[in-house]
Amino acid sequence: MATTSHRPTVCVIDLDAVRHNVATLRGDDGVALCAVVKADGYGHGAEPVARAALAAGATWLGVALIEEAATLRDAGIDAPILLLSEPPPSAAPAVLTYNLTPFVYSPAFIAALQHAAEQQDTTVNVHVKIDTGMGRVGVANDNITQVMSILGESDRLAIEGIGTHLARADETDDAARATTRAQLDRFATALDVCADYGATPTYLHAANTAAALTSPASRKLRCATGTTTTLVRCGIGLYGLSPSVQLDVATYGLRPALTVHSHVSYVKRIVKGTPVSYGHRWHAPCDGYLATVPIGYADGVPRALTNRADVLIGGERFPMVGTITMDQLLVFCGERPVTAGDAVTLLGTDVAGGTIRIEAWAHAAGTITYEIASQLTQRLPRRYVPERTVQAEP
Ligand SMILES: *Cc1c(COP(=O)(O)O)cnc(C)c1O
């Protein structure tokens, strides 16, 4: 990428919103917060978001990949980093190199980590991941004794935490709530087994954003041995985005951090019936102004939004029309005389106070906010406000 951007199209990330969201998700009940910044901070930029989150009181960072953690370490961030899933056993030495705290659950990876720790003559803290009903990675309740005895024999690996992941915390109906409760019950049972093996974890964790907001039980986990701190692992909420249609984070006071702006690059007047863009999937319902905006699906505007979303221009809402193309999309402004250079808000709040949310795009495109945010591409320049990360909030 050239260092000078000539594009009028930019994605602005409000780090004050991130700090506010961190404070809100932490609350005042003593939980510790792990700021999940995988997938380049859900498209918001892992490093700036990590710094803002740590400044606002997060004490852990969470990532999916060693590569993501390496980027943070290379940037000089030394906060504890939780690796949310095991890498391949061959990557165990890198876990130590970057001073990461991995979730562990498979004997093969645990053996590789033990070996790497012996080679480097060091010890490593691990968090054991229990699968209480997500059905993805993690030790099934039946296999806890096996994994705990392997860990118990290790003089190199220390169990610093035990965690699980919830499958339905973002749903608000009774059945989903019952599933969350059942998972937390299974987790409590698992913790008893771990206690029988002498585990004295410092941290217990289960909550993602949805649970941190809606399940008080997930914020106060307990283990028979020792004093523990509950850690909540929040991703989507840091960015002020809703985990699902049922759970609107705005009602919890979270604020979206990301906005996308551009300008009108070209205007032409068209007559009623004029077909527009690839496939002629839209025809002008009347005469009017057709504006081109220089952003497309290669920037992360889902092509599925074709004929299904709006933009804001000069305080008014106008529809995107015709097939969204790789680099440009079209907006029909009717009799409103727009001109090249007029500011366009694709996501966020415009001068007049109108707002377009990622939630609306997600809904229209048949997906979730996570996918929209994480698929904004590197071609879309990111800018940060305030321009420089300020000190921790008082
Ligand atoms: C991504 C992830 C999270 C964060 O979930 P959000 O819904 O974004 O808050 C938490 N825990 C694990 C294991 C994850 O993979």
Query: Which residue's alpha carbon is nearest to atom 13 within ligand 1?
Result: 84
Distance 295 CA to ligand 1 centre (A): 29
Among 358, 288, 353, residue whose Cα is nearest residue 316: 353
Largest CA distance in the chain: 78
DSSP code, position 170: T
Give the chain's length. Answer: 394
Residue pointed to by tokens 């056993």: 89
Query: Which residue's alpha carbon is nearest to atom 8 within ligand 1?
Result: 235
**Contact indicator for 320, 290 with CB cutoff of 8 Å:** no
Ligand 1 nearest atom to the CA of residue 208, by list position: 9
Distance 161 CA to ligand 1 centre (A): 16
pLDDT along the chain (394 residues), means of 10: 80 98 98 98 98 98 98 98 98 98 98 98 98 95 93 96 98 96 97 94 98 97 90 98 98 98 98 98 98 98 98 97 98 97 97 95 98 98 78 46
Q: Which pLDDT score is estimated for 141? A: 84
**Contact indicator for 159, 168 with CB cutoff of 8 Å:** no
Query: Which residue's alpha carbon is nearest to atom 6 within ligand 1?
Result: 235
pTM: 0.96
Structure tokens at 312: 């804001």
Q: Which residues are catalytic?
A: 38, 278
Q: Which pLDDT score is estimated for 393? A: 46
Ligand 1 nearest atom to the CA of residue 84, by list position: 13
Q: Which pLDDT score is estimated for 225? A: 79
Q: Which pLDDT score is estimated for 387? A: 66
Distance 37 CA to ligand 1 centre (A): 9
Query: Which residue's alpha carbon is nearest to atom 14 within ligand 1?
Result: 84
Q: Which pLDDT score is estimated for 394? A: 43
Distance 64 CA to ligand 1 centre (A): 9
DSSP run (H or E) holding 103 = strand 101-104
Q: Which pLDDT score is estimated for 3? A: 65
229-234 and 32-36 strand pairing = parallel
Q: b/e map of 258-292 (b: 16 or more CB within 10 Å)?
A: bbbbbbbbebeebeeebebbeeeebebeeebbbbb
Q: Which pLDDT score is estimated for 389? A: 46
Among 73, 77, 194, 173, residue whose Cα is nearest residue 126: 194
Residues with CB under 6 A from ligand 1: 36, 38, 84, 165, 208-210, 233-237, 243
